[in-house]
Structure 1
């Protein structure tokens, strides 16, 4: 599933092509993904200018004149392809929704597994939408501080990795970047969240935004299906220190201590048992 840096990267590509332009045509090639498309989707989009974009956790919000926003989630393997309308290129398979603007931009939502979703919400009520209302702090916001994390983890006996992945606490973090952040901070992923010291929560509050910003600058991590909006792969996978590197020597403590993989809550966790305590 695309994580925060990948969604942010896609959102920026979408924004660059569509912001300030009028949606001239909407093509719905199937009536649903995870859930049915809104019955009035075409009515709310066609003929309206795109005012701005926003990312909330792993969701993209497209704000339109008329007071409505389109809410988009890419699901497990969805992607948004940006190009030019009217070309002779064959549309990709599993392209379920197409938006075109008066400037000739084209966006196609491709989702082979159909775990993504599209919905409409009044712009003034975005944060009350059933999929957004429960979300926690944004890790790239000023709310991400050591004391704030310490308060979130207070009394929590769950593993720190599970706490960081809890979208009700911190919105948008995923498996890749949590593994990377815990490694940089020297924190074992199985540590109880409530045992972290003030120094450790401060280190996490600094490392998490740094890693996310580095990943965004690199276009995200292309491991399976993910590509940027222009169809090119991201490059941050080449900078992973632990994720997907089981058996590789630890970049900190060397060949005698290879990166290990364990399973937590059904997900692979990569870490160095020597460096992370």
Structure 2
């Protein structure tokens, strides 16, 4: 599933194209992923201009003029392609004065939504992990008693962090994914805060991780998958100590860690 760095990369690749453009037409070819009636959504979008495009957690939010929002969640395999080809997995096409935006999604886990106001789910997201201060991060963790990996995946705690970057940040911080959050010292939590921000910044610089079929809006793959230290490296040697990377389940999510560098 595209996480914060992948969604941020898509937003940045669309930012030169969309703001100021008028939506001439909107077509929804398969309605399963659309939260609205397709005809009503198409009518609401036609004629509106894109004021801005931004990321909120793992959501892509296009602010419209007259006021409204078009919101996209890429799910597992969703893609927003600028001037992309229309094919059997195409679910939506927005036609602008200059160019088209095509949404494709083979596995159909994404979501599209037109709304006159921001949905409550977006307002309930936690802080941005790249912006949260060390003090707030530590204070928020100390209020909770959850296993750390599970807490990092909770979108009301931090928005946008997912399986890949939770594993990578925990490894860099030397913290076991099953460690209980409130039992960790301030120094270790400060290290985790720094690791989260570092790994996310590096992943954005690498335009995300293209493990399966993720690409940005120009069809370009990311490169950060080549820098993963634990994620999907089960059975391989740790890059720091040579121990064998292990895999376990946390909240039904595959979780990768080094038993030597990340002792419980």
TM-score where L is the length of structure 1? 0.89
Cα distance, 1:237 vs structure 2: 0.3
Q: CA RMSD in A?
A: 1.7
1:249 aligns with 2:243: no
Change (3 A) 1:140 1:265: same
What secondary structure sits across from 1:16 in the alignment? Answer: coil
Matching residue of 1:140:
130
Cα distance, 1:34 vs structure 2: 6.0
Aligned residue runs from structure 1 range 238-277, under 5 A: 238-254=226-242, 257-277=243-263
Matching residue of 2:105:
111
Matched length? 263
Aligned residue runs from structure 1 range 154-173, under 5 A: 154-173=142-161
Show CA shifts across 1:186-211 (max 9, x none): 11111101111111121122221221
Contact persistence 1:146–1:203 (CA under 8 A): no
Aligned mates of 1:42, 1:155 — CA distance in 2: 44
Matching residue of 1:100:
95
Show CA shifts across 1:78-135 (max 9, x none): 1111127xxxxx52221010012112x111111122221111233xx42xx1321321
Show CA shifts across 1:128-172 (max 9, x none): x1321321111122xx22322222222533211111111111111
Aligned residue runs from structure 1 range 117-266, under 5 A: 117-122=111-116, 125-126=117-118, 129-141=119-131, 144-254=132-242, 257-266=243-252
Aligned mates of 2:42, 2:144 — CA distance in 1: 45
What secondary structure sits across from 2:8 in the alignment? Answer: helix
What secondary structure sits across from 1:62 in the alignment? Answer: strand
TM-score where L is the length of structure 2? 0.93
Structure 1: segments with no counterpart, 5+ residues: 85-89
Aligned mates of 2:223, 2:176 — CA distance in 1: 26
Structure 1 residues 59-68 or 109-118, which shifts more?
109-118
Change (3 A) 1:192 1:229: same
Cα distance, 1:38 vs structure 2: 5.4
Matching residue of 1:87:
none
Contact persistence 2:23–2:97 (CA under 8 A): yes
Aligned mates of 1:224, 1:110 — CA distance in 2: 15
Structure 2: segments with no counterpart, 5+ residues: none
Aligned mates of 2:147, 2:28 — CA distance in 1: 43
Contact persistence 1:220–1:235 (CA under 8 A): yes
Change (3 A) 1:38 1:199: farther
Structure 1 residues 10-19 or 169-178, which shifts more?
10-19
- Stretches of 4+ moved more than 6 A in 1? none
Cα distance, 1:261 vs structure 2: 1.1
Cα distance, 1:2 vs structure 2: 0.9
